[in-house]
Every structure is written in structure tokens, then in C-alpha cells.
């Protein structure tokens, strides 16, 4: 994981207790739900970054960015599961920015400093689409 439960708790502030209320119902606080959210967020990040980089990305220069992205994606999961109210607009905006950045990394238009490039280029796939052939070999015979 790129972030800890404590990191998520700091981001959410006083809302943390409301979003993870079920974790505090027992005598001993249970961190499995926020840990699960962070693990799911990390899996989404790794699923996208794995096309370009060797996982897990441990480069110190990229660590802060990945931590922020992980917390943001976990924050969305917390709001969605809680059923409290609609996810705040600022959270939705941050999540959209993170997913856009992840796609840019996967496409290669954004690089993670210090991260180790995957040896085989990752699982890159290229799809080529085009119009139907107008001037093929059969039509061009004699020219």
C-alpha cells in the first residue's frame, strides 16, 4: 500500500469517524475497512502503473504523489460505502484528476520520477483502427 490508515485519517479529519462508524462500534477499533479501502486504491493505481513500471513503485520522488493518489481514491470509497450523503464535489474533482493522471502515466505522457521502467514495456497493447482499404493491390495493378 502507498498510504496508511493514519494518512487517511489525517486527510478525512473529523469526518473519518462518521465515514468509518462501523469500525468504532466494537470496544477495540477495527481498521480492516479503511485498510481494505486503501488496498483497493493501491490495486487501482498498480493496475494502471503496471503497464509502464515495475511494481510496487518505491521511488522516493514518486512516493508522495502515489500516497496522495492512494488516499484520494480511498476517500472516494469511504464516502461511497458510508451512505451518509453524496460524495463532496471537491472529492469527486480530486478523484477525476487522479484517474486522469493515472491514464497519462499509462499512456506515457507523464512519468514518475525515479520509478523503474518495466523491462518489457509492461503489458502495453496497441490497437490500430482505420478506414476500409480504398487503393489495395488488386485495384492498383497496372499503375
pLDDT tens track for 49-82: 998 999 989 999 899 999 999 999 999 999 988 8
| Residue 7: CA count within 13 A, CB half-sphere | 18
Residue 141's pLDDT is 76
3-state secondary structure of 131: coil
Residue 2's pLDDT is 94
User: What does the chain come to in residues?
Assistant: 143
Q: In whole angstroms, what is the distance from residue 143 CA to residue 140 CA? A: 6
C-alpha pair distances (Å), 92 with each of 31, 79, 114:
24, 10, 29
pTM: 0.78
Cell numbers 497519462 label which residue? 104
Residue 27's pLDDT is 63
Residue 22's pLDDT is 77
Among candidates 69, 105, 84, which has minimal Cα distance to 22? 84
3-state secondary structure of 66: helix
Residue 128's pLDDT is 57
Residue 122's pLDDT is 47
Residue 125's pLDDT is 47
Q: Which residues of the chain have pLDDT under 50?
A: 121-122, 124-126
Residue 141 in grid coordinates:
495493378
Amino acid at each position: 500500500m502507498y498510504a496508511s490508515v493514519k494518512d487517511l485519517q489525517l486527510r478525512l479529519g473529523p469526518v473519518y469517524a462518521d465515514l468509518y462508524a462501523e469500525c468504532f462500534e466494537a470496544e477495540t477499533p477495527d481498521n480492516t475497512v479503511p485498510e481494505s479501502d486503501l488496498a483497493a486504491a493501491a490495486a487501482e493505481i498498480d493496475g494502471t502503473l503496471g503497464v509502464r513500471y515495475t511494481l510496487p513503485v518505491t521511488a522516493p520522488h514518486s512516493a508522495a504523489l502515489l500516497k496522495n493518489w492512494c488516499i484520494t481514491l480511498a476517500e472516494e470509497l469511504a464516502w461511497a460505502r458510508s451512505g451518509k450523503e453524496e460524495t463532496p464535489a471537491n472529492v469527486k474533482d480530486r478523484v477525476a484528476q487522479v484517474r486522469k493522471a493515472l491514464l497519462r502515466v499509462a499512456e506515457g505522457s507523464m512519468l514518475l520520477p525515479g520509478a523503474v521502467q518495466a523491462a518489457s514495456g509492461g503489458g502495453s497493447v496497441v490497437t490500430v483502427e482505420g478506414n476500409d482499404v480504398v487503393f489495395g493491390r488488386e485495384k492498383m495493378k497496372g499503375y
